[in-house]
A and B are shown apart, each in its own frame.
Chain A
Amino acid sequence: MVAPVWLLLQAGSLSQRQIAIDAPFCAIDGTLPALDRIVGQTSKRGSAATMKPEKNKPRVGLFVTCLVDLFRPSVGFATVQLLEDAGCEVSVPFAQTCCGQPAYNSGDRKDAREIARQVIEAFDGFDYVVAPSGSCAGMLKKHYAELFADEPDFHKRAVAFSLRVHELVSFLHDVRGVREVAANLDAKATYHDSCSGLRELGIQKQPRQLLSSVEGLNLVEMKGPDICCGFGGTFCVKYPDVSNAIVGEKTKSISESGADLLLAGDLGCLMNMSGKLKREGSTVKARHIAEVLAGMTSEPAIGEG
């Protein structure tokens, strides 16, 4: 992957001011990616011998998410590569299992709180916590703190934790200033905005911007990309008839878009949509956006052997 700043430098038209514009403040924690950090991203490619390598790479803890861990590890490895290409040092704390949403969204606050505590403690000391999922990142970032409303000390810690949490694509784009990737894939793709990423974290333009830089990829919009796919965690098995009606509308929009590849940032939604597409006999393939951005598409698509 070639960082955008590198391309601009190659073009010889970059002033320091432009770098600052291209790598904006992270509004949440006020971190301004320093020039040397951005330069550091490019030096990783080994072709920027004249540039200073980044002295202190940001330390990123990868929250891999339970579905990626269990069903599609390739998304986890793609995430690691994207983060490393963006100049980060990536670690994966072992004391992680799940973000706790199954408990939290079932009204079981006690278990949700204990799992949240476990995650917060496991990710102590990282500059950032990144997850390849808007849903799980949203849980960590927007919901953990309120679980500790009755524990003032830990609440403070949970708030500080939440400021360090990011969803993968928005982290690359907003925090690391990545605007282009060096991947290529011949496909006509359509992107589904997963609900939590879109509405809790404001992720909409970032994935599209990065996908537009994938060589050979033609991005087309489906009708209502922001409409829920009907997954909803346990909802899809508690109310299968209704969930099926919702995902049926979604697969109709996907098919009508003429795309041959469905992309999204959340594996739960992807398993739901691709499962339905497969059942309908559709030839549309489905992948997590991280696989495409990292150029790691040699694994069969979701649901394919």
Chain B
Amino acid sequence: MVEITSPGFKDNSAGALADVNLQKAMRHVRVNFIEKRAKAAAALPEFDDLRSSARAIKDHVLDHLDLYLEAYEAKVVERGGKVHWAANAVEARGIVLDICRKVNARTATKGKSMITEEIGLNDFLEKNGITPVETDLGEYIIQLRGEHPSHIIAPAVHLTMDQVREDFRKAHTHLPADRPLNEPQSLLQEARGILREKFLKADVGITGANFLVAETGSSVIVTNEGNGDLTQILPRVHIVVASIEKIVPTLEDMSQIVRVLARSATGQEMSVYTTLSTGPRRKGDPDGPEQYHVILLDNGRSTMLGNEFRDMLRCIRCGACMNHCPVYQSVGGHAYGWVYPGPMGSVLTPALVGIENSAHLPNASTLCGRCESVCPMQIPLPKLLRHWREREFEQHLTPGTVRTGLGLWAYAAKRPALYQRMTGFGIAMLRFLSGGRGRFRWLPLAGGWTRYRDLPAPQGRTFMAQWKAQQARKQN
């Protein structure tokens, strides 16, 4: 498993805010993703209807998940593939290793896949003598750096081009040291040349899936670089790792969701490649793998299906929520401390690693609701974040100081007469302390506020006190 640093969110985020390169790179998210999505959504009058339709498809699937999973499995088998069921990450990794060992695999190419990050597959394969090779450009870059993705569709979004250039010069020592690498295109060409050989040498190709189509038994990936296609077509064995909620009933359903996916993610109408894989190579096929395996991973999803986080299972991993999140934009993905960052991650991570290991995440949100407003699957992310806060409160994971403060405040808030006496006194004190300056630069117990901002001082007596006095005057 990927190490969890979510409990260190505060330190992580302080580090991220002080990281000049990260802050420079994150400008890209603030501008590009958002503008492109907005344009794509505006250009399609039926965009919001499509969102509703996409949502309805996924809700229907979740209502009948068992049925569609079995139908899907039957189709995969009919097409000559094999389906493996994995309850958790350990089982899924074990199945991948088994398949690799049976074909004496030395290297495995990988298409971009968050689910293999979730199960920590790369480290595991490496420890077991199999070299995983990331083939998506962003994933390739962060693999060179020994990092994990900081964004679910743009894994290296936290890096500047200067950093990547340096990484390439360090890693690709067989190339002339003085080669020009000024243009993004030249970096791409260099990675492409290196990866081409690895594609041809790989014994196994591992991909995730954006969709699993029950009607045909197909796994579907949407990509922009074509690396996924080479990963699943060239090696002898293709392994698909996908979580159980990726199912859609029909190709028509998939097509509908695809229409909102790329628009929400990158602002494209469609990704460059939408590739369907249906079973191994058949007699007469010009290419394709000899073996086709699908590992269906639960890893907490069936629990979510039956609790208040079910809506999260509609997620299609477009990344729109994090692109639009002011917190994500400020600190980037690594600060969240596990695989999935941003609002979707702050809902999903506690479900997968336990709320006790990720207690900050649901709280590190202003609940501004911009994520929900752009989510193509209409997932009520703020509501789900709040549900985690409720669980934390119930399980006494909320910090003691917060609980005490909240308890005292609530005691008064439920007793208006007491509250008004207390606030009347407190506000008069504050007003006095402000010395008529209108604001505080510093105030005891308000350091969280005054470290960065002045605190406006109260105007004078509370509204309720003034209103009462006014009403009394009127009556006399």
Residues of chain A at the chain B interface (Cβ within 8 Å): 64, 68-74, 76-77, 92, 94-98, 100, 102-109, 111, 114-115, 118, 195-196, 199-200, 226-228, 230-247, 249, 271-272, 274-276, 278-279, 299-300, 302-305
In the complex, how many angstroms separate the beta carbon of A139 from the nearest chain B beta carbon? 11
A106 lies within 8 A of B402 (CB): yes
B413 lies within 8 A of A115 (CB): yes
Chain B residues whose C-beta falls within 8 Å of the C-beta of A278 in the assembled complex? 439, 453-454
Q: Does B390 contact A (CB under 8 A)?
A: yes
Chain B residues whose C-beta falls within 8 Å of the C-beta of A69 in the assembled complex? 423, 462-464
B423 lies within 8 A of A107 (CB): no
Residues of B contacting A: mostly = helix
Give which listed residue, A102, A232, A240, A272, contacts B367 with CB less than 8 A: A232
Give which listed residue, A74, A196, A249, contacts B459 with CB less than 8 A: A74
Give which listed residue, A68, A107, A247, A303, contacts B456 with CB less than 8 A: A303
Give which listed residue, B393, B414, B446, B454, contacts A303 with CB less than 8 A: B454
Chain B residues whose C-beta falls within 8 Å of the C-beta of A195 in the assembled complex? 366-370
Chain B CB count within 10 A is highest, among A76, A107, A235, for A107
Q: Does B412 contact A (CB under 8 A)?
A: yes
Chain B CB count within 10 A is highest, among A96, A241, A279, for A241
A228 lies within 8 A of B464 (CB): no
9 A–B contacts, CB within 8 A, in A order: A69-B464, A72-B459, A73-B461, A95-B416, A104-B386, A240-B451, A275-B453, A303-B457, A305-B434
A97 lies within 8 A of B413 (CB): yes
Give which listed residue, A108, A230, A271, contacts B393 with CB less than 8 A: A108
A199 lies within 8 A of B366 (CB): no
Chain B residues whose C-beta falls within 8 Å of the C-beta of A106 in the assembled complex? 389, 393, 398, 402, 406
In the complex, how many angstroms separate the beta carbon of B111 from the nearest chain A beta carbon? 33
Q: Does B455 contact A (CB under 8 A)?
A: yes
Chain A residues whose C-beta falls within 8 Å of the C-beta of B406 in the assembled complex? 102-103, 106, 108, 111
* Given A105-B367, A305-B437, residue A92 in contact with residue B410 (CB < 8 A): no
Chain B residue at minimum C-beta to C-beta distance from A79: B463
Chain B residue at minimum C-beta to C-beta distance from A94: B416
Chain A CB count within 10 A is highest, among B13, B394, B402, for B402
Give which listed residue, A98, A232, A241, contacts B10 with CB less than 8 A: A241
Give which listed residue, B390, B392, B448, B459, contacts A71 with CB less than 8 A: B459
Chain B CB count within 10 A is highest, among A73, A98, A199, A272, for A73
Q: Does B458 contact A (CB under 8 A)?
A: yes
Top-3 shortest CB links A-B:
A232-B366, A237-B448, A305-B438
Chain B CB count within 10 A is highest, among A68, A227, A246, A275, for A275
B463 lies within 8 A of A238 (CB): no
Interface residues on B, range: 35 or more
Which segment, of B52-60, B324-332, B337-345, faces chain A?
Answer: B324-332
CA distance A230 to B13 in the complex (A): 15
Chain A residues whose C-beta falls within 8 Å of the C-beta of B101 in the assembled complex? none
CA distance A249 to B326 in the complex (A): 9
Q: A108-B410, A245-B17 are known; give 9 further A-B pairs, CB within 8 A.
A: A72-B456, A73-B466, A77-B466, A235-B363, A246-B326, A246-B366, A279-B441, A299-B459, A303-B438
* Given A237-B449, A239-B10, A305-B436, residue A107 in contact with residue B389 (CB < 8 A): yes
Chain A residues whose C-beta falls within 8 Å of the C-beta of B393 in the assembled complex? 106-109
Chain A residues whose C-beta falls within 8 Å of the C-beta of B416 in the assembled complex? 94-97, 118
Chain B residue at minimum C-beta to C-beta distance from A101: B367
CA distance A241 to B364 in the complex (A): 11
In the complex, how many angstroms separate the beta carbon of B310 from the nearest chain A beta carbon? 16
| Interface of chain B residues 350 through 403 with chain A (CB within 8 A) | 363-370, 372-373, 386, 388-394, 398, 402
B390 lies within 8 A of A109 (CB): yes
Chain B residues whose C-beta falls within 8 Å of the C-beta of A228 in the assembled complex? 326, 366, 368, 370
CA distance A107 to B330 in the complex (A): 25
CA distance A100 to B386 in the complex (A): 14
Chain A residues whose C-beta falls within 8 Å of the C-beta of B315 in the assembled complex? none
Chain B residues whose C-beta falls within 8 Å of the C-beta of A227 in the assembled complex? 326, 370
| Interface of chain B residues 438 through 476 with chain A (CB within 8 A) | 438-439, 441, 446, 448-449, 451-464, 466-468
CA distance A200 to B370 in the complex (A): 10
Chain B residues whose C-beta falls within 8 Å of the C-beta of A243 in the assembled complex? 366, 452
CA distance A196 to B368 in the complex (A): 7
Q: Does B427 contact A (CB under 8 A)?
A: yes
A107 lies within 8 A of B464 (CB): no
* Given A73-B466, A107-B393, A114-B414, residue A97 in contact with residue B419 (CB < 8 A): yes
Q: Does B432 contact A (CB under 8 A)?
A: no
A98 lies within 8 A of B413 (CB): yes
Give which listed residue, B330, B363, B402, B467, contacts A246 with CB less than 8 A: B330
